[in-house]
Amino acid sequence: MVDVFVSYSSQDRERVKPLVDELQRAGWSVWWDRAINAGTAFDREIETALDEARCVVVAWSKTAVESEWVRTEAHEGLERGLLVPVSLDEVRPPLAFRRLHTIALDGDGPGLDSGLDMLKRAIAALAPQRDDVEDGLIKGRDAYQRHDWEAAYNLLARCDGRHTLKPDDLEKLSWAAYWTARYDDTLTMLERAEAGYRSLGDARGIARTGLHQARLHSERRNFAVAAGIFGRVVELLATTPECAEHGLMACNLAQSQMGGGDLTAAKESAERARDIGRRVGDHNAEAMGLLWLGRTYLLQGRIAEGIALQDAATAAATSGELDPYFSGYIYCAVINACRDRADWHRAVEWTERADRWSERESVGFFPGVCRVHRAEILRFRGALRDAERDVLRGCELLTAASPMHSAQGFRELAEIRFRLGDLAGAEAACRQVAQLGLEPQPVLARLRLARGDAKGALASLERALADRSAWHLGNHVHLLPSKVSVALAAGDKAAAEAALSELETLAKQLASPAAAAAAACARGEVELSAGRTGEAIAQLRSSISQWIEEQAPYEAALAQCLLASALEREEDFEAAKLELELALSSFEKLGAELDARRAKERLANCPQGLDARRPGGRAAPGDQPHPVR
């Protein structure tokens, strides 16, 4: 809400600015800036400002009297009895406004009779100055509506220190705290808001703040507290007429049931959330229901249907009709689902869209998790140092906001550091993953293989793949390629074949190019191990083409190293050298120091043409593939 709305011709902007500055120095809030987007949004902003203004000042000038905009705004002020006309030129106002006294600002009289003093007295009669708390509340609420989270937090917190806020203002303060990474304050304000709603008998307010508390406590691994709060909400809503909070409660339930492996119950809860949202007209509940319904379909192997439902949920998030929290949550969940399908191209599209949403909504981050997903995409595209920077920031945020998810961040950090050749850093990150209760795979297996423990690496991967729970199945497409490599290194060809078969089946089900590329590479590796070099070369070339198409330079370079080994087996040493040179160039650009060093060593030992063949037609040392995926 603003105190004074100033209507003027845009050509008079420089003449009006000193007037606005003087009114603001006097303590009034002023709407006057027409430097906003044209079109419908412009119309809405003007209408909102006019509706909320306590006083309308029209600045008549030679250009203003000809402006339909100014006439319309002045008429609105006149109709509401809030109009204070001033003149910038010696000009007669339009006929409809001549009965009102117009204050001349084209020249000042002496002392208190100056035009500016007369204007201030006229405004004060319509918009008397508020006390500090009331003014702070109005400005804090306005900042909240504009998503200026830092200003909203500071203003509302200052008022809270001098005056007990109402529960709806405490709820606003909790969200402002959340979006400015003040997580302890978030919970404190939610608890106080819930208590306030309880004193008012507002069942919906109690349920809404309780559900958000339950989500935050769950993310912090306070599962007993989360369950207790959620149980209270369930009991309360059992005797409350159907409302949006019933739908949001069903979403929480769907998530819990999915984590427990009961996909049938999760599907029913998600459908209930969607249907309640539609019946009561709550877009948040409807979109979250679509999100979780899509997730159950994906886990059931109904990929196309699941993607369509999650696309519908994300379209709602894009539209601006959802609260920022639910928009951010949906973006994050959809990008995570893309990651679980190795659908990196789609993940990039949604990440770019999420970035635009984040900028529009003044949300600098969606605590931690989205930064981790962004880092995964940067790593996949080969920007390893940028990915390391983003994931470190994500881990920092997640440690404070959601320790439950911070293990994902450290697992990604381990992956990035392994590619950079920082094995000690990768191992340290793996330790943090394990401390947080998650298997640090597949990086840990690669580290063990690098230390020469192939059998231990294989055993650790088999344990990770044995976990068939909903939250871990999505990682299998990333574990199986490593299992093929590790099993071959351990001499367990049966295990490699079994992992390959599962990977190929999964790639067909997921229908993602990256999964198909990984399966082709693994097939080429198995064929190479079996001595079927012709088939290995065909599969590896196919894999390289797909990786290049997917803009995955590190994976393409690893496949080129394998292809070089197959070509050496065929005694095509010039072609093998070319593949190694291409791989080396990629590794050096990426900063993958260890892989680059290995590629250089192989090039140094690479046979040079037909004269370098060894007796028996076998290639010289250097024909063994170095990468493990």
* Residue that finishes a domain, picked among 206, 240, 274: 240
Residue 605 sits in the same domain as residue 506: yes
Angstrom distance (rounded) from CA 216 to CA 210: 10
Total structural domains in the chain? 3
Nearest by Cα to 100 from 117, 73, 75: 75
Angstrom distance (rounded) from CA 154 to CA 299: 43
Give the residues of the chain that fall short of pLDDT 70.
Answer: 33-43, 107-113, 129-131, 361-367, 470-471, 608-629
Q: The domain containing residue 30 runs over which residues?
A: 4-129
Residue 503 sits in the same domain as residue 620: yes
Angstrom distance (rounded) from CA 291 to CA 325: 14
* Contact by Cβ (8 Å): 137, 159: yes
What pLDDT is stored for residue 438 in this prediction?
86
Respond yes or no on whether the N-terminal peptide bond of residue 110 is cis (omega within 30° of 0): no
Residue 124 sits in the same domain as residue 146: no
16: its two tokens = 């009006």
* Residue that finishes a domain, picked among 72, 102, 129: 129
295: its two tokens = 């997730």
Helix (H, G, I), strand (E, B) or coil at 85: strand
78: its two tokens = 């006149």
20, 23, 25, 28: CA torsion to nearest 10: -120
Angstrom distance (rounded) from CA 417 to CA 591: 10
**E strand or H helix that includes residue 572:** none
Angstrom distance (rounded) from CA 397 to CA 406: 8
Residue 391 lies in a domain: no
Phi and psi for 7 in degrees, rounded to 5?
-100, 130
The radius of gyration computed from the CA coordinates of the chain, to the nearest angstrom, equals 32
Residue 446 lies in a domain: no
Residue 340 lies in a domain: no
CA dihedral for 430, 431, 433, 438, sign (positive or negative): positive
Residue 13 sits in the same domain as residue 122: yes
Residue 496 lies in a domain: yes
Residue 145 lies in a domain: yes
Residue 81 sits in the same domain as residue 111: yes
What pLDDT is stored for residue 351 in this prediction?
79
Residue 269 lies in a domain: no
Residue 609 sits in the same domain as residue 621: yes
What pLDDT is stored for residue 610 in this prediction?
39
Helix (H, G, I), strand (E, B) or coil at 7: strand
Tell me the CA distances in angstroms from 164 to 167, 189, 192, 213, one per residue in order. 9, 12, 10, 21
Strand partners, 412: none
Residue 497 sits in the same domain as residue 602: yes
Helix (H, G, I), strand (E, B) or coil at 3: coil
Residue 63 sits in the same domain as residue 150: no
What pLDDT is stored for residue 572 in this prediction?
95
**E strand or H helix that includes residue 30:** strand 30-31
370 CB contacts (<8 Å, ≥6 apart)? 328, 331, 332, 335, 354, 394
Angstrom distance (rounded) from CA 223 to CA 220: 8
Residue 494 sits in the same domain as residue 626: yes
Please state at what angle helix 344-360 crosses helix 513-529, rounded to 10 degrees.
Answer: 150
* Residue that finishes a domain, picked among 129, 152, 186: 129
What pLDDT is stored for residue 428 in this prediction?
97
Return the number of other C-beta atoms located less than 10 Å from residue 389's C-beta.
Answer: 15
Residue 442 lies in a domain: no
Please report, for the chain, how many H helices and E strands are present, in that order.
30, 5
Residue 68 sits in the same domain as residue 186: no
Tell me whether residue 488 is exposed, middle or buried, using C-beta atoms within 10 angstroms of its C-beta: 0 to 12, 13 to 18, 19 or more. Answer: buried
Q: What is the edge-to-edge ordering of all strands in the sheet holding 30-31?
A: 30-31, 4-7, 55-60, 83-87, 103-104
Alpha helical stretches, state H, 421-453 = 423-435, 443-450
Residue 247 lies in a domain: no
Residue 526 sits in the same domain as residue 558: yes
What CATH number does the domain containing 101 carry? 3.40.50.10140
- Residue/partner pairs of 137-142 with CB below 8 Å, 24 or more apart: 137/165, 137/169, 138/1, 138/29, 139/29, 140/169, 140/172, 140/173, 141/1, 141/169, 141/172, 142/1, 142/2, 142/29
Residue 144 sits in the same domain as residue 109: no
What pLDDT is stored for residue 471 in this prediction?
66
* Contact by Cβ (8 Å): 31, 4: yes
Angstrom distance (rounded) from CA 416 to CA 587: 13
Model confidence pTM above 0.95? no
